[in-house]
Amino acid sequence: MTMTDTLTALTGKPLGECTNGELYLSLLKLVNEKAAQQIRPVQGRKLYYISAEFLIGKLLSNNLINLGLYDEVRSALQSAGKKLSDIEEVEPEPSLGNGGLGRLAACFLDSLATLNLPGDGIGLRYHFGLFHQSLSSGVQKELPDPWLTENSWAEKTDITYPVKLGGKKFTARLYKLAVTGYEGRTNTLNLFDIDTVDESIVREGISFDKTAIDKNLTLFLYPDDSDEAGRQLRIYQQYLMVSAGAQLILAECAARGCDYHNLADYAAIQINDTHPSMVIPELIRLLGEKGIAFEEAVEIVTKTCAYTNHTILAEALEKWPRTYLEVVVPQLMPIIEKLDAVVAKRTKDKSLAIIDKDGKVHMAHMDIHFTHSTNGVAALHTQILKDSELKGFYKLYPEKFNNKTNGITFRRWLMKCNPLLTGQIENLIGTGFHKDATQLTKLLAYENDTSVLEQLAAIKKENKRELCRWLKQEQGITMNPDAMFDIQSKRLHEYKRQQLNLLYLIHQYFEIKAGHLPPVPLVSIFGAKAAPAYIIAKDIIHALLTLSKVIAADPVVSPWLQIVFVENYNVTAAEKMIPACDLSEQISLASKEASGTGNMKFMLNGALTLGTMDGANVEISQQVGNENIYIFGQTSNQVIRRYAAGDYKASEWYEGDPNLRRAIDFLTGPEMTAAGSSELLSRLQTELKNKDWFQTLPDFSAYVVRKGQALADYAANPLDWSRRCLVNIAKAGLFSSDRTIAEYDRDIWHLGK
């Protein structure tokens, strides 16, 4: 049967007569049928990756690629006058994550299935994922982002588990989403929900009654937790996930012959950051119900579970007041207390306790004590955990600590998002890199091949034009594809330092006005959402939007400088932006970005990195060599020392550097306040001048110099720029999540088949 016949059988009428919506539904069916054929029985240990976030993005094209159907489907549609890209538009994006942590979980599921490893995800079926960002009036507004349609990828099952929340009984229902591997097996993403959630309680924006948990439990991803009800709701969500998840794990293992004493032979559980940490006491509780004594249950759980730390930011390490846990999960508190008593026997160091003197429960501490592995997500990050943040734990359990540098799936972040580049690479080195990313080093043979380098540059140009077309259509923005495209896209956070980029852009504005023209026009593109209650982050967005207006209205500056803020940055937007990037901004304060994964995506798509020695930038620079990356700024040791000394004074830097002072003063100058809100702008100015917790000012001048160098190199020798892009692509193999997953399996999981 041809693909046209298959699809026609599914639609029930000639393809040319179908709407894109009808074709989408048929393709969804086709994918699910084909995926089901690749489900394999499990032998030995199976992984359960528990995560509050799975930022899976749109699934149709990716599944078609992984199942080997993409080309056939595309040509069948083409002969009927239909375009696969139009059908993709019909699919809503499941934005079930905030950023890197959730996207990593999605990449890991892809790699597990591709490597033929048995590994399922466990998470929540949020009705609205991360909010939809609107920027219409110069400020961010949050709106619900629905993704669930009648026929969604997540299929409802009859499988339910009882879960007690706040002493009341609830029923968790399992939804299953097929995870296809590239020429591999099909695994499952298990998402839990309750039937009583009521979308109609959403009021203005994303506000809703936070107390009615039967109606709101899985309504939103990470609801605003700036108040107590929001924080408690987060714990309710987490417990729903881990309790239903733990019951699912026990049921699946029992069905395969496990008697619970030998749970670790059947299951490996990876705790993705601290959001799922309650799975530890919950499993101990459930094993107790099966007749297993506390001490043995602790041993079983420790052998089964492993923990990944994704941040060293103190405010992001979850510590819940015990009074909250007593309300939300009273059944766990006695177990957590017993675990705390076990810790007290192991060490006298009170800073390693689970429950501190103020009655706060430290979730990460529970993870480290009661799992067999704690890993960081890039070499530098793991080193900092061992040397400072988790030093006491490292002393107690050196054998538990290990590094697993993050990775990304090349199926989505090269083959799917950049077909032109993929085609060129295939022509040069074949298709082996699809599953063995290290083969990309074969591209180095073309380092001095002018026609290859010219073609690479032409592909970049075409991707830039494509981004121009898309942004014209979406936001009515016109951009010059001959300019350098510089992109900073990631969550908005002060440690990531979008404000450093902002200060640079103000500086450039002054330079251009003074007649110091840059060697090439610059389009500075941002994509970023700020957490709804994060005031300074929102002020940074406002400042960028305002500056963008000021520059656009200036006839002298605008031919040389443009700021573009992509509204509602998500996976779909990332797939359009990343292939079109020349310069990738990875400018976090050294020591603060655990790894970063956007840095890897940009590199793989032939952008050069402008970055600090932070997170995986360190490993990227080792891979490509200093001449193929732009590194600047303080080192992590310098930063850590400065924090320890506590003697950083932003005001001294402000006073000491006239360029910096000029840029910061400009925030509340007449041009900016005429175009934006003086209240928001001066709040940001005050923060930068007097606090600047993430040390933007000390890195400012080095950043200006390094970025100037990048612009000069880009303009002076396009062929050499292209050569350096080629080196970046060739050396990106290390950052495949296939490599990361193989290492997790080798060192931590030891999965069966």
Q: How many CB atoms lie within 10 A of CB 340?
A: 18
Q: How many CB atoms lie within 10 A of CB 71?
A: 11
Q: What is the DSSP letter of 588?
A: P
| Smaller CB separation from ligand 26V, 292 or 574 | 574
Write out the DSSP string of 636-663. Answer: HHHHHHHHHHT---HHHHHHH-HHHHHH
Least distance to ligand 26V, CB of residue 406, Å: 5
Answer for which of 595, 605, 628, 722 binds ligand 26V (CB under 6 A) is 595
Least distance to ligand 26V, CB of residue 599, Å: 9
End-to-end CA distance of the chain: 32
| Smaller CB separation from ligand 26V, 304 or 406 | 406
* 601 part of the active site: yes
Site for ligand 26V in 316-335 (CB under 6 A): 316
- Which candidate in 74, 231, 592, 601 is catalytic? 601
| Smaller CB separation from ligand 26V, 281 or 376 | 376
Which residues contact residue 399 at a Cβ distance below 8 angstroms, ignoring those fewer than 6 apart? none
| Smaller CB separation from ligand 26V, 490 or 683 | 490
- Spatial separation of the C-alpha atoms in residues 79 and 661, rounded to whole Å: 61
Q: Which of 250, 217, 215, 248 is nearest to 232 (CA)?
A: 217
Least distance to ligand 26V, CB of residue 230, Å: 12
Q: Which two tokens stand for residue 719?
A: 């062929």
* 490 part of the active site: yes
* 6 part of the active site: no
- Spatial separation of the C-alpha atoms in residues 607 and 708, rounded to whole Å: 16
- Spatial separation of the C-alpha atoms in residues 624 and 611, rounded to whole Å: 13
| Smaller CB separation from ligand 26V, 297 or 732 | 732
Q: What is the DSSP letter of 582?
A: S
Least distance to ligand 26V, CB of residue 249, Å: 23
Stretch that binds ligand 26V, among 305-313, 570-578, 665-673, 722-730 (CB under 6 A): 305-313
| Smaller CB separation from ligand 26V, 434 or 739 | 739
Q: What is the DSSP letter of 747?
A: I
Question: Residue 305, Cα to own-chain centre: how many angstroms?
Answer: 23
Stretch that binds ligand 26V, among 57-65, 306-314, 426-434, 572-580 (CB under 6 A): 306-314
- Spatial separation of the C-alpha atoms in residues 179 and 88, rounded to whole Å: 18
- Which candidate in 46, 103, 460, 496 is catalytic? 496
| Smaller CB separation from ligand 26V, 10 or 408 | 408
Under 8 Å between Cβ of 39 and 47: no
Using the rule CB under 6 A, is 104 a contact of ligand 26V?
yes
* 409 part of the active site: no
Answer for which of 223, 281, 532, 615 binds ligand 26V (CB under 6 A) is 615
Using the rule CB under 6 A, is 143 a contact of ligand 26V?
no
Residue span 489-528 as binding mask against ligand 26V, x where in contact by CB under 6 A, dash where not: ----x-----------------------------------
* 310 part of the active site: yes
Answer for which of 62, 311, 409, 609 binds ligand 26V (CB under 6 A) is 311
Using the rule CB under 6 A, is 313 a contact of ligand 26V?
yes
Helices (H) and strands (E) in the chain, counts: 32, 19
Say which residue the tokens 């008697």 belong to.
259
Answer for which of 593, 619, 687, 699 binds ligand 26V (CB under 6 A) is 593
| Smaller CB separation from ligand 26V, 316 or 715 | 316
Using the rule CB under 6 A, is 224 a contact of ligand 26V?
no
Under 8 Å between Cβ of 285 and 315: no
* 3-class secondary structure, 397: coil
- Which candidate in 310, 412, 460, 706 is catalytic? 310
Least distance to ligand 26V, CB of residue 572, Å: 20
- Spatial separation of the C-alpha atoms in residues 344 and 352, rounded to whole Å: 9
Stretch that binds ligand 26V, among 25-33, 70-78, 95-103, 129-137 (CB under 6 A): 95-103
Q: Is 134 left (phi over 0), alpha (psi -120 to 50) or beta?
A: beta
Using the rule CB under 6 A, is 315 a contact of ligand 26V?
yes
- Spatial separation of the C-alpha atoms in residues 533 and 223, rounded to whole Å: 10
- Which candidate in 11, 597, 609, 696 is catalytic? 597
| Smaller CB separation from ligand 26V, 185 or 490 | 490
Handedness of CA 602, 608, 611, 616 (dihedral sign): positive
Using the rule CB under 6 A, is 17 a contact of ligand 26V?
no
Least distance to ligand 26V, CB of residue 463, Å: 24
Answer for which of 57, 94, 100, 579 binds ligand 26V (CB under 6 A) is 100
- Which candidate in 125, 491, 592, 706 is catalytic? 491
Under 8 Å between Cβ of 471 and 494: no
| Smaller CB separation from ligand 26V, 65 or 104 | 104
In terms of C-beta density within 10 A (0-12 exposed, 13-18 middle, 19 or more buried), how is residue 513 classed?
Answer: exposed
Under 8 Å between Cβ of 114 and 739: no
Helix axes 70-79, 3-11, angle to 10 degrees: 70
The length of the chain in residues reads 753
| Smaller CB separation from ligand 26V, 11 or 597 | 597
Least distance to ligand 26V, CB of residue 99, Å: 6
| Smaller CB separation from ligand 26V, 114 or 740 | 740
| Smaller CB separation from ligand 26V, 63 or 498 | 498
Q: How many residues bind ligand 26V (CB under 6 A)?
A: 19
Q: How many CB atoms lie within 10 A of CB 311?
A: 22
Stretch that binds ligand 26V, among 231-239, 251-259, 295-303, 307-315 (CB under 6 A): 307-315
Using the rule CB under 6 A, is 594 a contact of ligand 26V?
yes
- Spatial separation of the C-alpha atoms in residues 172 and 213, rounded to whole Å: 13
Q: What are phi and psi of 149, to 5 degrees?
A: -115, 175
Nearest residue by C-beta to ligand 26V? Answer: 100
Say which residue the tokens 């306040």 belong to.
673
Answer for which of 181, 281, 527, 596 binds ligand 26V (CB under 6 A) is 596
Least distance to ligand 26V, CB of residue 703, Å: 20
Using the rule CB under 6 A, is 533 a contact of ligand 26V?
no
Q: What is the DSSP letter of 92?
A: P
- Spatial separation of the C-alpha atoms in residues 432 and 421, rounded to whole Å: 15
Q: Which of 369, 349, 346 is nearest to 284 (CA)?
A: 369
Using the rule CB under 6 A, is 273 a contact of ligand 26V?
yes
Residue span 388-407 as binding mask against ligand 26V, x where in contact by CB under 6 A, dash where not: ------------------x-
Q: Which of 12, 160, 20 is nearest to 77 (CA)?
A: 20
- Spatial separation of the C-alpha atoms in residues 490 and 109, rounded to whole Å: 21
- Which candidate in 45, 464, 490, 592 is catalytic? 490
Least distance to ligand 26V, CB of residue 114, Å: 19
Under 8 Å between Cβ of 242 and 279: yes
* 338 part of the active site: no
Least distance to ligand 26V, CB of residue 489, Å: 13
Q: Which of 38, 50, 39, 37 is nearest to 267 (CA)?
A: 50
Q: What is the contact surface with ligand 26V in residues (CB under 6 A)?
A: 99-101, 104, 273, 310-311, 313, 315-316, 377, 406, 493, 593-597, 615
Point out the residues that are catalytic: 310, 490-491, 496, 597, 601
